[in-house]
Structure 1
């Protein structure tokens, strides 16, 4: 049986240095593809495309990871720009929202959103974000650990039933929950740390960065779900 094919959305960088070259680049931290491969999947990177391409792409995949990255444009959820919101990435917003919406419409496709990916999942379902908060990033470019508390009976609570210290780096978070989503983990300060869409389709978002840690259970659950897709009419 072929390994499940897991698509991973990419970061867009205007300038990246490769030895003597400095070029615009679409890339993703290696922790994502390494985790997928370690769990028995085949990873493929998905650079931004026209939104219409998402509906054609998604049926070719067995699973999807929407990765972390820059802040979501608050105009996407009807809010004015807070001066503490960082540099925006409109190309990623357009593409990844289209990919998420296509994944949800496809219904059988497992979806994992990581940090920004979870926030975009919430926005795609009509939710909003807190544009700035303190205490969830140690400093520029430096991960910190904090404890998350799973909600019993949820998909995440089944994958990881015990409280855990997770690698985190963010200053934005879920505010109003998107339609149909439920909270499946909290931080000790009350921040929403995981959301999911109840039902047969495996849809889960986490606010932290599992690709930066050693606990592969989320990736293993995604790959397992990709091996046994939901049968939809």
Structure 2
């Protein structure tokens, strides 16, 4: 049972237009192709994460909008999106609880940024200000395929090798690395593209979108295989 955190966005279907908890089907497909059962985790108030995590085997923290800069002690950049306090609170609680319970975690794009903030790290709010171009997010709704360098000997490197091609779509990135996290992947301009928590059974964050590439399911298979190894 692999929980996937969801977006909270306006959506239209049939004759209705409502706020909706939703997730791109690609996440569900990636989990099921790896042998897991996907469970949607809509953002909600209260103490539900602690009860919920006891029923899950793994957690995927999905991509989405910008994390509220107040969560890491910064003022918002003009290009930073409006905060989604409910989703921020929900995902931070889920992540911290999952790590405390040694639940395998895969954090994708925004998810990696939430992981970094959960461990006291900060974010670079508009990446073009530092790298001088917009190749990490070339156009609205369009992924950019690039090669990243993965540290030899890391868990991520064991899964993907040292020079995987990935699909990027982000205008923010991690800045100061959270306590205990280790950067393990970088783009050619030095942007951190991968984080891992060395002492955890499986806790990886990637800045790219592995769910969007149906030809490469290695990260999701590794997540599910971790569960099978524990029960073997």
Unmatched 5+ stretches in structure 2 = 129-134
Greater shift in the superposed pair: 15-24 or 56-65: 15-24
CA–CA separation in structure 2 for the residues paired with 1:176 and 1:104: 20
Unmatched 5+ stretches in structure 1 = none
CA change 1:94–1:192 in 2 (3 A) is same
Runs of 4+ in structure 1 deviating by more than 6 angstroms, as ranges, are none
Match of 2:30 in 1: 35
1:169-184 → structure 2 map (5 Å cutoff): 169-184=169-184
Match of 1:78 in 2: 73
Match of 1:149 in 2: 149
How many residue pairs match? The answer is 224
How well do the aligned residues superpose, as a CA RMSD in angstroms? 1.2
In the TM superposition, residue 51 of structure 1 has moved relative to its aligned partner by: 4.5
In the TM superposition, residue 200 of structure 1 has moved relative to its aligned partner by: 4.3
In the TM superposition, residue 52 of structure 1 has moved relative to its aligned partner by: 1.4
| Deviations, residues 5-54 of structure 1 (Å, cap 9, x unaligned) | 100000001x2110211121101001111011011111010011225111
**Is this contact kept in 1: 2:122–2:175, CA < 8 A?**
yes
| Deviations, residues 107-127 of structure 1 (Å, cap 9, x unaligned) | 2x1000000000000000000
Match of 1:115 in 2: 109
Q: Does 1:127 align with 2:121?
A: yes
- TM-score scaled by length of structure 2: 0.94
1:203-214 → structure 2 map (5 Å cutoff): 203-213=203-213, 214=215
